[in-house]
Homo-oligomer: A and B are copies of this chain.
Amino acid sequence: MKIAVLPGDGIGPEIVAEAVKVLHALDLRFEMEEAPVGGAAYEAAGHPLPEATLELAKEADAVLFGAVGDWKYDTLERRLRPEQAILGLRKELGLFANFRPAICYAELTHASSLKPELVAGLDILIIRELTGDIYFGQPRGRRESPDGAFRGAQEAFDTMRYSKPEIERIAHVAFQAARKRGKKVTSVDKANVLETFQFWKDVVTEVHAQYPDVELEHMYVDNAAMQLVKAPKKFDVIVTGNMFGDILSDEAAMLTGSIGMLPSASLNADNRGLYEPSHGSAPDIAGQGVANPLATILSAAMMLRFSLNQAEAADRIESAVKSVLAQGLRTADIYSEGTRKVGTRDMGDAVVAALRTQ
């Protein structure tokens, strides 16, 4: 089993180091190879996704990814910015299915902005299509406006698009995931305005015919943004396009109050995947040893389950994380009175210790 380890920028290296430590504490053999990505790769090799890093990611069974990005790269031309690395990896590896759980841990319910009764026990799975939509659609660029009231003025444009097979495959992923959970899928669209999402709705409805045991509901994206705030527990699995998924998965993650706990997986058709925390690179706290490594550690657990066929090891990590929470250990982002504040490394060590006493 070969794992490509891409720590990236900001707190990326610190939190990935803890996840690697946890993986080493399992009784499994991995080959792990590290490579630079994002701003770190731009500094080292002049490009956020160097050829060697991409090759490593392609030949590995799974990629463990930290985070990329820093304000200091904001003035670079777009193709050199750190975010291009993650977009490039998604596209090149065909990682079309992004799994983003939004879970509210019992011990952390108080950390949510929402009233406790609205989030206690929350467990939503957002499935975001990750290689299509307006993120990658061509043509795009700047030009003279070809028509309309401002014909001749400078304009910029992008293309939103989805083909039928792209929608079908993500719909199958969503219905299959729902079967193992609450058996309900909410497909989020903007069919009342966009051709792309009327088509999305039609195709999802068609695929649903193969899953009569799963309930399908359609919801407009603006309404979904509201319902997540109003009654998040009404959702089970949400499936949507790349752009709406970007917005709604972050909103849902923040609703839990503990985005520092949330892992994510991005899978391709062969179940190979990239695993990263749902949070970003947090350059403001980088290098201070205070970042929460649990989202990355839980991402490593998802990696074991989805790409490396080691469900038992994944379970072990997840219960070790629950046990450190139960012990009252907290990094600064999830700290509250009466618990014990620890740093990044101590938290990683505590997970390892919990694994050893299982």
**Residues of A participating in the B interface, judged by any CB pair closer than 8 Å:** 78, 81, 83, 87, 113-115, 118, 134-135, 137-138, 140-142, 145, 147-148, 150, 153-166, 190, 192-200, 221-223, 225-226, 228-230, 243-244, 246-251, 253-255, 259
Chain B hits for A137, CB < 8 A: 157
Contact at A140–B254, with CB atoms within 8 Å?
Answer: no
Expressed in whole angstroms, the minimum distance between the Cβ of A235 and any Cβ of chain B is: 14
> CA A244 – CA B251 in complex, angstroms?
13
Expressed in whole angstroms, the minimum distance between the Cβ of A332 and any Cβ of chain B is: 15
Partner of A193, one of B113, B118, B135, B199: B135
> CA A81 – CA B153 in complex, angstroms?
32
Contact at A157–B196, with CB atoms within 8 Å?
Answer: yes
> CA A145 – CA B83 in complex, angstroms?
27
23 sampled A-B residue pairs with Cβ under 8 A? A83-B192, A113-B118, A113-B229, A114-B114, A114-B115, A145-B161, A150-B164, A150-B165, A156-B161, A156-B162, A156-B197, A156-B199, A156-B200, A157-B196, A158-B161, A159-B160, A221-B246, A222-B246, A223-B250, A225-B254, A229-B254, A230-B254, A244-B247
Top 3 nearest A-B pairs (CB, nearest first) are: A156-B199, A157-B161, A155-B163
Expressed in whole angstroms, the minimum distance between the Cβ of A264 and any Cβ of chain B is: 13
> CA A155 – CA B163 in complex, angstroms?
4
Expressed in whole angstroms, the minimum distance between the Cβ of A218 and any Cβ of chain B is: 9
Chain B residue with minimal CB distance to A141? B195
Partner of A142, one of B150, B195, B253: B195
Chain B hits for A147, CB < 8 A: 138
> CA A221 – CA B247 in complex, angstroms?
7
Chain B residue with minimal CB distance to A223? B250
Chain B hits for A223, CB < 8 A: 250
Chain B hits for A243, CB < 8 A: 190
Q: A140-B196, A155-B161 are in contact. List 17 more A-B contacts (CB 8 A).
A: A113-B115, A115-B115, A134-B160, A134-B193, A140-B195, A145-B161, A145-B163, A153-B163, A156-B195, A157-B195, A158-B196, A159-B159, A190-B246, A222-B247, A225-B248, A226-B251, A229-B254
Chain B hits for A250, CB < 8 A: 222-223, 225-226
Contact at B113–A230, with CB atoms within 8 Å?
Answer: yes
